[in-house]
Amino acid sequence: MSVNEASRWNPVDYAANAAFVPALGAPVLALLAPQTGERILDIGCGDGVLTERIVATGATVVGVDGSPEMVAAARARGIDAHVVDAQALPFGPEFDAAFSNAALHWMLDKGAVARGVFAALKPGGRYVGEMGGAGNIATLRAGLRQAVGEMGYTPPAGDPQWYPDVADFTDTYAAAGFSDVRAELIERPTPVPAGLAEWFRTFRMGFLDQSGVPPDARDPLAACAAAIAEGGLPRDADGTILADYVRLRFSMRKPD
């Protein structure tokens, strides 16, 4: 299976409108607890903002991502990053730990990812991370689909992400050979300071590609989707829209 065509990114837009993604990765980084001298694989490293924080602990980090543009941004930060499809990881048992934040839901061959991470870890190696879970951004996804249809375009059949529940995720990684697989769903209403239209333009470029939306129609379509979704979402005390994020946080280990 090739890299998900819906996973398309612009590093400039991502830095401007998605800074909350690495910022909210702090609990997962604490769960990883990287140690000086460890060799760690960052799966879906993106522009390397969170990867930098792992490197700062004294660990040696290799980042992989399917987006050449995001890998270039990570390399510009000094990250050892490579364009790699995580559904076909090329590593043997060389890493003490693996880490992933806000990326696995874009990788539709879930079993291939799980087996590749297992192969990349040394015996006893740990794997922690966070991804979109069951129910993630349901209101935003529905609003975008409705807007695409109302404006005369055809969205792809089904959502091009894997947002698992705990049982699906646990079964997938246990089948790959991992032990002590722990996962939990966390509802996390998340402020979107730049507004929903910018969120759609940043996070759903690939979806708009697949829907056949031309560049000159994307701004009005994003505005339409934002207007639809806003009615179903709460706001914080400052009036900022809270997106309906649901995260799946996990940890596991490769048996000795």
Arithmetic mean of pLDDT, 133-139: 97
Over 90: is that where the pLDDT of 152 sits? Answer: yes
Over 90: is that where the pLDDT of 41 sits? Answer: yes
Q: What is the pLDDT confidence band of residue 11, given thresholds at 50, 70 and 90?
A: confident
Domain that holds residue 25: 11-136+160-191+244-253
Q: Domain for residue 82, yes or no?
A: yes
Q: Domain for residue 184, yes or no?
A: yes
pLDDT of 31: 95
Arithmetic mean of pLDDT, 191-207: 92
Q: Domain for residue 74, yes or no?
A: yes
pLDDT of 193: 84
125 vs 97: CA distance, rounded Å: 5
CB burial of 62-79 (b: ≥16 within 10 Å; e: otherwise) equals bbbbbbebbbebbeeeeb
pLDDT of 12: 77
102 vs 43: CA distance, rounded Å: 10
Over 70: is that where the pLDDT of 172 sits? Answer: yes
Q: What domain count does the chain have?
A: 1
Arithmetic mean of pLDDT, 23-33: 88
Q: Is the pTM of this model over 0.85?
A: yes
Q: Domain for residue 155, yes or no?
A: no
The C-alpha angle with vertex 163 and arms to 229 and 15, in degrees rounded to 5, equals 65
Mean pLDDT of the chain: 94
Q: For residue 241, what are its two tokens?
A: 């829209």
What percent of the chain shows pLDDT beyond 90?
86
Arithmetic mean of pLDDT, 52-57: 96
Over 80: is that where the pLDDT of 10 sits? Answer: no
Q: Domain for residue 142, yes or no?
A: no
pLDDT of 254: 98
Arithmetic mean of pLDDT, 62-83: 96
Q: Domain for residue 236, yes or no?
A: no
Q: What is the pLDDT confidence band of residue 187, given thresholds at 50, 70 and 90?
A: very high
Q: Residue with structure tokens 């402020």?
A: 191
Q: Domain for residue 219, yes or no?
A: no
The C-alpha angle with vertex 123 and arms to 120 and 128, in degrees rounded to 5, equals 65
48 vs 88: CA distance, rounded Å: 21
| CATH number reported for the structural domain that contains residue 132 in this entry | 3.40.50.150
**Helix, strand, coil % in the chain, rounded to nearest 5:** 40, 25, 35
Q: Domain for residue 216, yes or no?
A: no
229 in Cβ contact with 143 (< 8 Å): yes
Question: Which residues face 107 on adjacent strands?
Answer: none
In degrees and rounded to multiples of 5, residue 196 shows phi and psi of -70, -35
In 68-173 the beta strands, taken as DSSP E runs, fall at: 80-83, 95-101, 121-132
